[in-house]
Amino acid sequence: MSNIPAELKYTKTHEWARLEADGSIAVGITDHAQELLGDLVFIELPEVDRQAAAGKEIAVVESVKAASDIYAPIAGSISAVNQAVADAPELVNQDAYSAWLFKLKPDNTADLDKLLDAKGYLQLISD
């Protein structure tokens, strides 16, 4: 059973989003996603200041099995990237919820309310 923290928001494409104290949104992939992908070997992060459109490809994770696009959960501009996970992709396999990939400054924070809650995400991956 995957770990699904209740305080996060989720997408149907297996990204998680967390509102940070500074108003930015940290984004990563779910524990379920990293389990499906297997051992991550490469992560391509977006450029800082790049505009992200909700639901559009913004980054790529590659595992020994496959490459998978990462989609922006909401629209905004990239405010930070986590170089530590680019240098050591296995950090995502070890703890998917502390190994954020990028942060974005949201165009509209209320867009987070359109994402799945933990219960909704659990239902999605249980079907």
Contact present, 10 and 17 (Cβ < 8 Å):
yes
Mean pLDDT for all residues in the chain? 96
What pTM value is reported for the model? 0.96
Is the predicted pLDDT of residue 50 greater than 70, yes or no?
yes
C-alpha–C-alpha distance, residues 114 and 8, integer Å: 12
C-alpha–C-alpha distance, residues 27 and 99, integer Å: 9
Structure tokens at 126: 């249980």
C-alpha–C-alpha distance, residues 16 and 24, integer Å: 13
Is the predicted pLDDT of residue 2 greater than 70, yes or no?
no
Q: What is the pLDDT of residue 37?
A: 96
CATH for 10-106?
2.40.50.100
Is the predicted pLDDT of residue 90 greater than 80, yes or no?
yes
Q: What is the pLDDT of residue 127?
A: 80
Q: What is the pLDDT of residue 99?
A: 97
